[in-house]
Amino acid sequence: MRRTLTELARNPDLISGIYNYCDRWCERCPLSSRCLLYASELEDDDGSPESRDIQNEAFWKKLSSIFRETQGMLKEWADEAGVDLNEIKDEDDLNLRRKRRQADKHALATAGKKYANAASDWFREFDQIEEVSDLAATETEVDEADRLVDAREIIHWYQYQIAVKTIRALSSRFEESEFDEVDDYPRDSDGSAKVALLGIDRSIAAWRLVQMSISERSESIVPLILQLERLRQRTERQFPNARSFVRPGFDEILGPPN
Ligand code: SF4
Protein backbone atom coordinates (compact mmCIF):
# COMPACT_ATOMS: atom_id res chain seq x y z
CA MET A 1 0.00 0.00 0.00
CA ARG A 2 1.23 3.45 -0.85
CA ARG A 3 2.60 5.31 2.18
CA THR A 4 1.74 8.95 2.79
CA LEU A 5 4.31 11.73 3.04
CA THR A 6 3.83 11.84 6.81
CA GLU A 7 4.63 8.13 7.07
CA LEU A 8 7.67 8.46 4.81
CA ALA A 9 8.90 11.45 6.82
CA ARG A 10 9.24 9.24 9.91
CA ASN A 11 12.36 7.62 8.46
CA PRO A 12 15.18 8.73 10.85
CA ASP A 13 17.80 8.54 8.08
CA LEU A 14 16.25 11.38 6.10
CA ILE A 15 18.21 14.62 5.95
CA SER A 16 15.95 17.56 6.57
CA GLY A 17 15.70 19.95 3.62
CA ILE A 18 18.37 18.17 1.55
CA TYR A 19 16.33 18.77 -1.61
CA ASN A 20 16.39 22.56 -1.16
CA TYR A 21 19.95 22.98 -2.46
CA CYS A 22 20.50 20.03 -4.77
CA ASP A 23 20.56 19.89 -8.56
CA ARG A 24 17.50 17.59 -8.75
CA TRP A 25 19.46 15.01 -10.67
CA CYS A 26 18.08 12.15 -8.57
CA GLU A 27 19.42 9.41 -10.82
CA ARG A 28 22.94 10.56 -10.05
CA CYS A 29 22.41 11.75 -6.49
CA PRO A 30 24.71 10.16 -3.90
CA LEU A 31 22.17 10.78 -1.12
CA SER A 32 18.88 9.75 -2.69
CA SER A 33 18.28 7.17 0.06
CA ARG A 34 18.17 10.03 2.57
CA CYS A 35 15.85 12.33 0.66
CA LEU A 36 12.14 12.63 1.39
CA LEU A 37 11.39 14.00 -2.07
CA TYR A 38 13.02 11.03 -3.73
CA ALA A 39 11.30 8.59 -1.34
CA SER A 40 7.93 10.09 -2.22
CA GLU A 41 8.71 9.82 -5.93
CA LEU A 42 9.68 6.16 -5.55
CA GLU A 43 6.53 5.52 -3.59
CA ASP A 44 4.55 6.89 -6.50
CA ASP A 45 6.47 4.94 -9.10
CA ASP A 46 4.33 1.93 -9.88
CA GLY A 47 6.88 0.67 -12.40
CA SER A 48 4.77 1.59 -15.41
CA PRO A 49 6.48 3.70 -18.11
CA GLU A 50 3.74 6.30 -17.71
CA SER A 51 4.75 7.14 -14.15
CA ARG A 52 8.04 8.53 -15.46
CA ASP A 53 6.53 10.60 -18.19
CA ILE A 54 5.87 14.18 -17.19
CA GLN A 55 3.43 14.57 -20.06
CA ASN A 56 1.37 11.76 -18.76
CA GLU A 57 -1.94 12.23 -17.06
CA ALA A 58 -1.02 9.69 -14.39
CA PHE A 59 1.94 11.83 -13.43
CA TRP A 60 -0.14 14.96 -12.96
CA LYS A 61 -2.75 13.06 -10.98
CA LYS A 62 -0.07 11.81 -8.65
CA LEU A 63 1.42 15.24 -8.40
CA SER A 64 -1.90 16.72 -7.37
CA SER A 65 -2.34 13.99 -4.76
CA ILE A 66 1.08 14.94 -3.33
CA PHE A 67 -0.01 18.56 -3.42
CA ARG A 68 -3.11 17.69 -1.40
CA GLU A 69 -1.03 15.73 1.11
CA THR A 70 1.40 18.62 1.40
CA GLN A 71 -1.49 20.97 2.09
CA GLY A 72 -2.32 18.75 5.05
CA MET A 73 1.18 19.25 6.43
CA LEU A 74 1.35 23.00 5.81
CA LYS A 75 -0.51 24.08 8.91
CA GLU A 76 1.77 22.00 11.13
CA TRP A 77 4.91 23.47 9.47
CA ALA A 78 3.52 27.01 9.67
CA ASP A 79 2.69 26.59 13.38
CA GLU A 80 6.20 25.28 14.08
CA ALA A 81 7.76 28.18 12.19
CA GLY A 82 5.44 30.73 13.82
CA VAL A 83 4.10 31.82 10.44
CA ASP A 84 0.53 33.04 10.01
CA LEU A 85 -0.48 31.78 6.57
CA ASN A 86 -3.50 34.08 6.41
CA GLU A 87 -1.35 37.15 6.75
CA ILE A 88 -0.17 37.24 3.13
CA LYS A 89 -1.41 40.47 1.56
CA ASP A 90 -1.81 41.53 -2.07
CA GLU A 91 0.93 44.05 -1.47
CA ASP A 92 3.36 41.24 -0.54
CA ASP A 93 2.43 39.48 -3.75
CA LEU A 94 3.16 42.57 -5.80
CA ASN A 95 6.48 43.09 -4.06
CA LEU A 96 7.46 39.51 -4.70
CA ARG A 97 6.63 39.80 -8.39
CA ARG A 98 8.56 43.06 -8.66
CA LYS A 99 11.63 41.44 -7.07
CA ARG A 100 11.41 38.43 -9.38
CA ARG A 101 11.27 40.75 -12.40
CA GLN A 102 14.29 42.64 -11.09
CA ALA A 103 16.21 39.35 -10.67
CA ASP A 104 15.18 38.17 -14.12
CA LYS A 105 16.63 41.28 -15.75
CA HIS A 106 19.86 41.31 -13.75
CA ALA A 107 23.07 41.14 -15.83
CA LEU A 108 24.07 37.87 -14.19
CA ALA A 109 20.74 36.25 -15.06
CA THR A 110 21.02 37.51 -18.64
CA ALA A 111 24.54 36.08 -18.88
CA GLY A 112 23.26 32.70 -17.64
CA LYS A 113 20.51 32.67 -20.26
CA LYS A 114 22.98 33.67 -22.98
CA TYR A 115 25.17 30.73 -22.06
CA ALA A 116 22.17 28.36 -22.24
CA ASN A 117 21.36 29.61 -25.75
CA ALA A 118 24.98 29.40 -26.87
CA ALA A 119 25.17 25.79 -25.66
CA SER A 120 22.00 24.94 -27.60
CA ASP A 121 23.39 26.58 -30.73
CA TRP A 122 26.61 24.64 -30.43
CA PHE A 123 24.84 21.29 -30.16
CA ARG A 124 22.43 22.14 -32.98
CA GLU A 125 25.32 22.83 -35.30
CA PHE A 126 27.25 19.82 -34.04
CA ASP A 127 24.29 17.50 -34.63
CA GLN A 128 23.91 18.75 -38.19
CA ILE A 129 27.57 18.10 -38.96
CA GLU A 130 27.38 14.71 -37.23
CA GLU A 131 24.47 13.68 -39.45
CA VAL A 132 26.60 14.38 -42.48
CA SER A 133 29.59 12.52 -41.09
CA ASP A 134 27.37 9.58 -40.10
CA LEU A 135 26.38 9.30 -43.72
CA ALA A 136 30.05 9.30 -44.62
CA ALA A 137 30.41 6.38 -42.16
CA THR A 138 33.03 8.07 -39.99
CA GLU A 139 34.09 5.80 -37.12
CA THR A 140 34.22 7.05 -33.54
CA GLU A 141 35.97 5.14 -30.79
CA VAL A 142 33.42 3.52 -28.47
CA ASP A 143 34.86 4.92 -25.23
CA GLU A 144 35.04 8.39 -26.76
CA ALA A 145 31.45 8.12 -27.89
CA ASP A 146 30.43 7.09 -24.35
CA ARG A 147 32.36 9.98 -22.90
CA LEU A 148 30.62 12.34 -25.26
CA VAL A 149 27.20 11.00 -24.28
CA ASP A 150 28.02 11.50 -20.58
CA ALA A 151 29.39 14.98 -21.13
CA ARG A 152 26.41 15.99 -23.19
CA GLU A 153 24.03 14.75 -20.53
CA ILE A 154 25.83 16.80 -17.89
CA ILE A 155 25.84 19.94 -20.04
CA HIS A 156 22.14 19.62 -20.82
CA TRP A 157 21.27 18.99 -17.20
CA TYR A 158 22.83 22.23 -16.01
CA GLN A 159 22.39 24.34 -19.13
CA TYR A 160 19.19 26.06 -17.99
CA GLN A 161 19.50 25.30 -14.31
CA ILE A 162 22.44 27.69 -13.98
CA ALA A 163 20.28 30.67 -14.97
CA VAL A 164 17.30 29.43 -12.96
CA LYS A 165 19.34 29.07 -9.77
CA THR A 166 21.05 32.40 -10.37
CA ILE A 167 17.68 34.12 -10.70
CA ARG A 168 16.51 32.46 -7.50
CA ALA A 169 19.71 33.60 -5.75
CA LEU A 170 19.21 37.18 -6.95
CA SER A 171 15.55 37.22 -6.09
CA SER A 172 16.27 35.87 -2.59
CA ARG A 173 18.98 38.49 -2.21
CA PHE A 174 16.42 41.25 -2.90
CA GLU A 175 14.12 39.79 -0.26
CA GLU A 176 16.89 39.24 2.27
CA SER A 177 18.08 42.83 1.95
CA GLU A 178 15.04 43.75 4.00
CA PHE A 179 16.37 41.66 6.90
CA ASP A 180 20.01 42.68 6.76
CA GLU A 181 20.32 42.94 10.49
CA VAL A 182 20.16 39.10 10.72
CA ASP A 183 23.76 38.68 9.71
CA ASP A 184 24.82 35.13 10.47
CA TYR A 185 21.72 33.43 9.19
CA PRO A 186 22.39 31.02 6.27
CA ARG A 187 20.95 32.75 3.27
CA ASP A 188 18.89 31.16 0.55
CA SER A 189 20.64 33.48 -1.91
CA ASP A 190 24.01 31.91 -1.04
CA GLY A 191 22.63 28.36 -1.15
CA SER A 192 21.03 28.93 -4.55
CA ALA A 193 24.14 30.67 -5.88
CA LYS A 194 26.19 27.68 -4.71
CA VAL A 195 23.99 25.29 -6.69
CA ALA A 196 24.45 27.54 -9.75
CA LEU A 197 28.22 27.59 -9.19
CA LEU A 198 28.43 23.81 -8.91
CA GLY A 199 26.46 23.55 -12.14
CA ILE A 200 28.97 25.91 -13.77
CA ASP A 201 31.97 23.92 -12.46
CA ARG A 202 30.52 20.67 -13.74
CA SER A 203 29.59 22.19 -17.09
CA ILE A 204 33.14 23.48 -17.58
CA ALA A 205 34.48 19.99 -16.87
CA ALA A 206 31.90 18.45 -19.21
CA TRP A 207 32.81 20.80 -22.07
CA ARG A 208 36.43 19.82 -21.54
CA LEU A 209 35.35 16.19 -21.94
CA VAL A 210 33.64 17.10 -25.19
CA GLN A 211 36.86 18.76 -26.34
CA MET A 212 38.82 15.61 -25.53
CA SER A 213 36.32 13.42 -27.37
CA ILE A 214 36.20 15.46 -30.55
CA SER A 215 39.48 17.29 -30.79
CA GLU A 216 38.67 18.62 -34.26
CA ARG A 217 35.90 20.74 -32.68
CA SER A 218 38.02 21.78 -29.75
CA GLU A 219 38.42 25.41 -30.76
CA SER A 220 34.71 26.00 -31.15
CA ILE A 221 34.25 24.99 -27.50
CA VAL A 222 36.74 27.46 -26.06
CA PRO A 223 34.30 30.45 -26.19
CA LEU A 224 31.71 28.42 -24.26
CA ILE A 225 34.19 27.49 -21.55
CA LEU A 226 35.29 31.12 -21.31
CA GLN A 227 31.69 32.25 -21.10
CA LEU A 228 31.15 29.87 -18.19
CA GLU A 229 34.35 30.93 -16.50
CA ARG A 230 33.30 34.59 -16.66
CA LEU A 231 29.91 33.63 -15.28
CA ARG A 232 31.60 31.69 -12.48
CA GLN A 233 33.77 34.63 -11.50
CA ARG A 234 30.91 37.12 -11.63
CA THR A 235 28.68 34.85 -9.56
CA GLU A 236 31.41 34.43 -6.96
CA ARG A 237 31.87 38.19 -6.81
CA GLN A 238 28.13 38.77 -6.40
CA PHE A 239 27.81 36.04 -3.79
CA PRO A 240 31.13 35.89 -1.95
CA ASN A 241 29.71 33.58 0.75
CA ALA A 242 28.11 31.12 -1.64
CA ARG A 243 30.97 28.62 -1.77
CA SER A 244 31.01 28.33 2.02
CA PHE A 245 27.24 27.81 2.30
CA VAL A 246 26.63 24.43 3.93
CA ARG A 247 24.03 22.49 1.95
CA PRO A 248 22.12 20.00 4.12
CA GLY A 249 23.63 16.55 3.57
CA PHE A 250 25.99 17.38 0.73
CA ASP A 251 28.36 19.64 2.66
CA GLU A 252 28.11 17.97 6.04
CA ILE A 253 30.00 15.09 7.55
CA LEU A 254 27.29 12.49 7.88
CA GLY A 255 27.12 9.59 10.24
CA PRO A 256 26.13 6.20 8.80
CA PRO A 257 22.40 5.65 8.26
CA ASN A 258 20.57 3.94 11.15
S1 SF4 B 1 18.58 15.47 -2.79
FE2 SF4 B 1 19.13 14.01 -4.37
S3 SF4 B 1 17.41 12.57 -4.46
FE4 SF4 B 1 16.71 14.39 -3.36
S5 SF4 B 1 15.72 15.69 -4.91
FE6 SF4 B 1 17.87 16.31 -4.73
S7 SF4 B 1 18.95 15.14 -6.31
FE8 SF4 B 1 16.98 14.15 -5.98
| Residue 114 sits in the same domain as residue 183 | yes
Q: Are 116 and 176 part of one and the same domain?
A: yes
Instruction: Report if residue 157 sits inside a domain.
Output: yes
Residue ranges around ligand 1 (CB below 6 Å): 18-19, 22, 24-26, 29, 31-32, 35, 37-38
Which atom in ligand 1 lies closest to the alpha carbon of residue 22? 6
In a domain, 248, yes or no: no
Q: Which atom of ligand 1 is the closest one to the Cα of 249?
A: 1
Taking residues 171-178, report their average pLDDT. Answer: 84
pLDDT greater at residue 55 or residue 37: 37
How far, in Å, from the CA of 14 to the mean position of ligand 1? 11
Which residues span the domain enclosing 226? 90-238
Q: Helix/strand/coil (H, E, C) string of 224-252?
A: HHHHHHHHHHHHHHHCCCCCCCCCCCCCC
Q: Indicate yes or no: pTM above 0.95.
A: no
- Could you tell me if residue 244 is inside a domain? no
Q: Please tell me whether residues 225 and 97 are part of one structural domain.
A: yes
- pLDDT, average across residues 188-208: 96
| pLDDT beyond 60 at 48 | no
| Same domain assignment for residues 109 and 181 | yes
Residue 118 contacts residue 203 (beta carbons within 8 Å): no
Q: How many domains does the chain have?
A: 2
Band of pLDDT at residue 14, cut at 50, 70 and 90: very high
Ligand 1 centroid to residue 33 C-alpha, Å: 9
Long-range (24+ apart) CB contacts under 8 A made by 144-149 are: 144/212, 144/213, 144/214, 145/213, 147/209, 147/212, 147/213, 148/209, 148/210, 148/213, 148/214
For the cut 70, the answer to whether the pLDDT of residue 27 exceeds it is yes
Model confidence at 239, pLDDT cuts 50, 70, 90, reads: very high
Asked if the structure places residue 250 within a domain, the reply is: no
- Minimum CA distance residue for ligand 1 atom 3: 32
Distance 253 CA to ligand 1 centre (A): 17
What's the start-to-end Cα distance of the chain, in Å? 24
Residue 74's SS3 state is helix
Q: Would you say residue 249 lies in a domain?
A: no
47/77 same-domain check: yes
